[in-house]
Amino acid sequence: MLVCFPEVIAKHEVAEFRGLMDAAAWEDGRHTAGAQSATVKNNEQLPPDSALARRLGEKIVSALTGHPLFIAAAVPRHIFPPLFNRYGAGASFGLHVDNSIRGDALTGLRIRTDLSATLFLSEPEDYDGGELAIEDAFGAHEVKLPAGDLVLYPASSLHLVRPVTRGARVSSFFWIQSMIREPQARAMIFDLDQAIQGVAGKLGIDAPETLKLSHVYHNLIRAHAEA
């Protein structure tokens, strides 16, 4: 399941993020890569444990926990502290899969990575290349979103970032452990949520049809959720 979320971070907040990030010191992105990923990773990142990365990451998590569509799609149990990367001209990240377990040295948090997320912090016209290409059974899907928009996709997928040929691609990336471990169940629950929103919009939140669908929705979550 691949879902895009517009304006998770407002444009003025993106500008504030970029002002702080552009003035910060960056390091080799391979410092947080796994053994296989490190061989194909060529970018820069903010030091993950820096005060700036933590402060900006907290703002992103706060925005996501107040975003109903994200909550419906991810059903998050844990959101890993967001990281930040930058791809200048010539930088790329070859085909790889994200680590199945991620640990945070500062908090001791360890999560199963069910979902990956990329929050774009550069406008598409500010750089050439840099598309996020995500593979699934139907082929590769290329994603290049406006600044402030986020894409959510399976962490189990093979994916890459195409070489940047002009400008700089700046983004935040992180992982989510969902309360709904099984991807197919999570996708069905999300589809049902969206159907409920449609029915409620047409018939009203108190309509019998809305109530019946909500009954099924919550009992499906009860059947599949991990506490």
- Whether residue 197 is found in the same domain as residue 170: no
Same-domain pairing of 48 and 144: yes
Whether residues 165 and 197 share a domain: the answer is no
* 110-112 and 101-103 beta bridge pairing: antiparallel
Q: Tell me, what's the pLDDT at 96?
A: 95
pTM of structure: 0.94
Do 149 and 197 belong together in one domain?
no
Query: Residue 37: what pLDDT?
Result: 76
pLDDT of the residue at 138: 84
What are the residues whose beta carbons fall under 8 Å from the beta carbon of 27, sequence distance 6 or more? 44, 45, 46, 47
Q: Are residues 17 and 126 in the same domain?
A: yes
Number of domains in the chain: 2
Characterise 108 by phi-psi region: left (phi > 0), alpha (psi -120 to 50), beta (else).
left
pLDDT of 32 reads 77
Domain carrying residue 216: 183-224
**CA–CA gap between residue 122 and residue 169 (Å, rounded):** 6
Question: What's the confidence (pLDDT) of residue 182?
Answer: 96
Residue where a domain terminates, one of 178, 195, 212: 178
Same domain, 69 and 127: yes
**pLDDT for res 3:** 97
What is the reported pLDDT for 36?
Answer: 74
- Are 124 and 160 contained in the same domain? yes
44/86 same-domain check: yes
Q: Is the domain of 73 the same as that of 142? A: yes
Residues 82 and 120 sit within 8 Å (Cβ to Cβ): no
> What is the residue-level pLDDT of the chain in tens, covering all 227 positions?
999 999 999 999 999 999 999 999 999 988 776 777 778 989 999 999 999 999 999 999 999 999 999 999 999 999 999 999 999 999 999 999 999 999 999 999 999 999 999 999 999 999 999 999 999 888 889 999 999 999 999 999 999 999 999 999 999 999 999 999 999 999 999 999 999 999 999 999 999 999 999 999 999 999 999 97
d(CA 130, CA 118): 12
String of DSSP letters for the chain: --EEETTSS-HHHHHHHHHHHHTS--EEGGGG--TTGGGTEE-EE--TTSHHHHHHHHHHHHHHHT-HHHHHHH-EEEEPPPEEEEE-TT-EEEEE---SEEE-TTT--EEE--EEEEEE-S-GGGEEE--EEEEETTEEEEE---TT-EEEEETTS-EEEPPEEEE-EEEEEEEEEESB-SHHHHHHHHHHHHHHHHHHHHH-TTSHHHHHHHHHHHHHHHHHB--
Residues 67 and 149 grouped into a single domain: yes
User: To which residue do tokens 């900006």 refer?
Assistant: 56
Per-residue confidence (pLDDT) for residue 29, from 0 to 100: 84
**How many Å apart are CA 49 and CA 54, to the nearest integer?**
7
CATH number of the CATH domain containing 80: 2.60.120.620
